[in-house]
Structure 1
């Protein structure tokens, strides 16, 4: 089964890029970025959940929920961009 390619390898092949192995330092940096991202997401969820718990106005609660989701999406996008930078390092 060594002939099977990972989804990442297939995507890189499709995009015309080369798949290369990550160094141990790159893997550790990516794991660190993931850990920090998960912590930021959890912190954000707690903060917005506390706001939601005290909000009586449904319109404001909807805005809080929307802002919560946008914030989490941005945290994840920033982490992905940071991981991509690590992957690009030679």
Structure 2
């Protein structure tokens, strides 16, 4: 393949790993995972921001922020796991 390399390909080169070419189906699946992940993160941010807007207690607000960050991290970790599964299927 000539032309520009993806961030994944460049990272694999730096780490000394082999970069497997992805099929069009895999690329589409990865793109769909990214799109769904962005939507879930946005939905989560909106939900927690609404809770924060109505919370007057600083301790409860801190707990809401912590929970928000944990939820977003979980969403992103799940997405990465799904993406890795797609990459492994050849």
Q: TM-score range with shorter-chain normalisation? A: 0.7 to 0.9
Counterpart residue number, 1:62? 62
Q: CA deviation at 1:15?
A: 3.8
Structure 2 CA distance, aligned partners of 1:25 and 1:37? 18
Task: Give, in whole Å, the separation in 2 of the partners of 1:3 and 1:31.
Answer: 20
The answer as to 2:58 corresponding to 1:76 is no
> When the two structures are superposed, what TM-score results if normalisation uses the length of structure 2?
0.85
Residue aligning to 1:51 = 51
Structure 1 residues without counterparts, runs of 5 or longer: none
TM-score (normalised: structure 1): 0.85
How many equivalent pairs are there? 89
Specify whether residues 7 and 31 from structure 1 end up closer, same or farther in structure 2 by C-alpha distance, changes over 3 A only: closer
Measured on the aligned residues, the alpha-carbon RMSD in Å equals 1.9
2:28 partner SS:
helix
Unmatched segments (≥5 aa) in structure 2: none
Alignment map for 1:1-90 (pairs within 5 Å): 7-90=7-90
Off by >4 Å, runs of 4+ in structure 1:
2-7
Q: Within 1, Cα distance between the matches of 2:36 and 2:3?
A: 35
